[in-house]
Structure 1
């Protein structure tokens, strides 16, 4: 192993797959999948390595590899110049002559658009959140399944979410040569039912031979590990997810003025996706006083911050657990709900217009949106153990709202560790706001004058 110090459970999973060049680390969120996957890549010792991850994780992976594995030449393939350099090194074989080991990092939505990647051979392929290829008919899945890696590393906290049919495409990468029809026949129970239109459709009703399936998965290098099996985490754990500050935010801070086109902030078709909803496609922002300047800066770090919206999508794709999401403005809710709808996640809400809690009560992977003023001070949401703070409260009473919001899941009846995820725009007022809340202080509308 490298000089890194690993926790016992991380050493265990690496030892379990020591003799395998294709493996899957299905570890719960918080157990260090990134460290385990990167170390396995290092141990495999291939000249060419490719990491495919969610867009919001690009910088994290680049920084991790550069920090802990300086012997690698690490390239962000979303950047044109670095992608060209990576391609040149691979195609000319210069890296073999110069004894260079390279790592390319790219996101799922871009990988199939880089056709040169299809021609790379004898490399290590690492998929972070490998469950994102569970739909074998998606472009990214088709492309990845046709690649010719020598070694494969799959990372996911929710590879199946209890739905074993989602494993088939990942099993192909692990080297289990079983076609989908045979896999279903062996392990998936289905039934043909009436759909109400006079036709029948086949639906999955359960699974069979599950123990045999698990043994086969172990043979092909899959390791499953739950948090409660290996480590006693603190009752409350906070994680900050940093996003880049936008040029629009910088411009507005400097000039107190901005013309902003808010369309295409997330992966929707066009403005028609928001017809009849409280979303403004084009806005003119004039910060002629501290109140309006504060308001627009908050919105530039929330509903109008494309990377934060994408990071929220990535977070949803990373877990099938119930989530509680705290937010401030109606347009935030509209855009976030659209993301949930695109991922088939059912939604509950608590806000000034009312409350709807069916999805929270009855759907295991539901997302419940809570507006601070309407729901931070009351409500029992301990069916969930994870809160996402899309934006934070600000101004008078914000400390109480924030402290009370954390208690919505951390209360009598909760028997699991609680996790809090903060989506923060680095270099913006949001960092100061969170620091102030943690110190029991409150930032006001005057914060931009300091």
Structure 2
């Protein structure tokens, strides 16, 4: 497949030094990364054997660390389709013996999920890889997580954290991160990614020194906890961006490819009388609690979980799940009838929603934690075996391509802007020929409206929810 100009430019930059490819979802990051790997393979670079004193194999090899959900449908499938010259193996297996056997096999590229990577760190470090690619590098947002510390160790950076230790051994020389949303919460999440690319060059390799320079602490009442916010000093803000620029290749879909239009439409749902009564009763009780207690904004999201469930016509209780109505389901069925005989992705937040939709919709399959065979479901939706894909954003928002579909319905909304954006990009990406339409089922005068507005406007959702509760 011929590369787009932005992909060609990124490959050229990547061959000159380590690079963060912050390309928006749908711009072909996986293909770009495969071309980078092919470059190093063709070059035949032995990657400075002196730096790999713990290596057991001096031959070329590349390691890709990514979410488990995209190993087969993204990396394995794309490598087979676009880079048949590369031998690619997956290190995922339930049995550790099989994982070690896969690592010991002779291949060009080894693809591993984050959890397996941490568990096999010593063996992976000893392999002596020449190229390391972290796909969905926002997984490194916590400076002290085991995943972050293990990846930084392969870049020669030692960082503090609880739990397992990850000693620095052989440094992998060619390192790249891929993400469309690298810092979904705040700019402090760039620290690990930049030190993975260029240790102690962009920012200090000491996280606390980095934070002290670019962030300001604000005490959280009498809790002894500080909240850190990015500096308002324009000179420091400019310095922050200028330091990152040489190591980052940033691409948006609008600038890179000519993709079809995206249309967002709200379908207002009128709750039935029993649903409205249940919702209003719960809302008044919760509002009273928030008026009389000093509850942190972060806990507001947990407290209103049941309110979100009630807008979908059910709620979880101590004795099971209680159904109070079917207004959203009725609206969904009417909408699907309007869409007609076309594939549709339906996004849900709760298990009960997913199971209810599987029961209500023939020719449907689901991607969620309860899915037994993800690859069968993904392939079945792509080839038309299933007309409806019912999915949870946490299970299906990353790395999957569904350009066979141009309709998505949000039965309920995720709290996360990152997951919302990623879910939209499953259909709006390279290869899509039709305009993409997104429908949001929003229960009128409920928490649905608050969540929708916060996610669309990139607001801090916890604070928006708290504000809603205190006004009611």
| TM-score relative to the length of structure 1 | 0.55
1:359 matched to 2:451? yes
Query: How is 1:288-327 mapped onto 2 (pairs within 5 angstroms)?
Result: 295=360, 301=366, 304-305=370-371, 307=374, 312-314=393-395, 326=409
1:212 matched to 2:239? yes
1:103 matched to 2:109? yes
Q: Structure 1 19/130 Cα, relative in aligned 2: closer, same or farther at 3 Å?
A: same
Name the residue aligned to 2:254: 228
In structure 2, runs of 5+ residues without a counterpart are 46-59, 155-170, 265-314, 324-349, 375-388, 400-406, 422-439, 462-472
CA–CA distance in 2 between the matches of 1:292 and 1:158? 30
Name the residue aligned to 2:181: 158
Q: 1:204: how far off?
A: 0.9
1:123–1:151: 8 Å Cα contact kept in structure 2?
A: yes
1:32 corresponds to which of 28, 32, 52: 28
1:163-196 deviations in Å (ceiling 9; x for gaps):
221111111211231221232233x231323x23
Q: Secondary structure at the match of 1:278?
A: strand
Name the residue aligned to 2:190: 167
Name the residue aligned to 1:406: none
Q: Structure 1 150/103 Cα, relative in aligned 2: closer, same or farther at 3 Å?
A: same
1:191 corresponds to which of 214, 217, 223: 217
Q: Secondary structure at the match of 1:158?
A: coil
Name the residue aligned to 2:38: 42
1:71 matched to 2:74? no
Higher relative contact order structure (alpha carbons within 8 Å, sequence separation ≥ 6): 2
Name the residue aligned to 1:57: 70
1:347-389 deviations in Å (ceiling 9; x for gaps):
x972499553123224534799xxxxxxxxxxxxxxxxxxxxx
2:393–2:420: 8 Å Cα contact kept in structure 1?
A: no
Alignment RMSD (CA, Å): 4.3
In structure 1, runs of 5+ residues without a counterpart are 90-94, 96-100, 239-272, 284-290, 319-323, 369-450
Query: How is 1:381-400 mapped onto 2 (pairs within 5 angstroms)?
Result: none
Name the residue aligned to 1:180: 207
CA–CA distance in 1 between the matches of 2:396 and 2:239? 32
Q: Secondary structure at the match of 1:75?
A: strand
2:226 corresponds to which of 169, 193, 201: 201
2:132–2:174: 8 Å Cα contact kept in structure 1?
A: yes
2:90–2:102: 8 Å Cα contact kept in structure 1?
A: no
CA–CA distance in 2 between the matches of 1:130 and 1:231? 23
1:88 corresponds to which of 104, 107, 111: 104
1:144-180 deviations in Å (ceiling 9; x for gaps):
2222322111100111237221111111211231221
1:349–1:357: 8 Å Cα contact kept in structure 2?
A: no
Q: Secondary structure at the match of 1:305?
A: coil
Name the residue aligned to 1:438: none
CA–CA distance in 2 between the matches of 1:275 and 1:140? 35
Q: 1:27: how far off?
A: 0.8
CA–CA distance in 2 between the matches of 1:63 and 1:305? 20
| TM-score relative to the length of structure 2 | 0.53
Q: 1:26: how far off?
A: 0.4
Name the residue aligned to 2:275: none
CA–CA distance in 1 between the matches of 2:249 and 2:238? 14
Q: Structure 1 205/64 Cα, relative in aligned 2: closer, same or farther at 3 Å?
A: closer
Q: Secondary structure at the match of 1:357?
A: helix
Q: 1:49: how far off?
A: 1.0
Q: Structure 1 203/295 Cα, relative in aligned 2: closer, same or farther at 3 Å?
A: same
Q: Structure 1 14/192 Cα, relative in aligned 2: closer, same or farther at 3 Å?
A: same
1:5 matched to 2:2? yes
1:189–1:204: 8 Å Cα contact kept in structure 2?
A: yes
Count of residues paired in the alignment:
296
CA–CA distance in 1 between the matches of 2:441 and 2:243? 42
Q: 1:199: how far off?
A: 3.8
Q: Structure 1 175/350 Cα, relative in aligned 2: closer, same or farther at 3 Å?
A: same
Q: 1:134: how far off?
A: 1.1
CA–CA distance in 2 between the matches of 1:144 and 1:295? 44
1:70-113 deviations in Å (ceiling 9; x for gaps):
23221111135763333324xxxxx5xxxxx5211111232212
CA–CA distance in 2 between the matches of 1:202 and 1:367? 14
Q: Secondary structure at the match of 2:250?
A: strand
1:278 corresponds to which of 317, 321, 325: 321
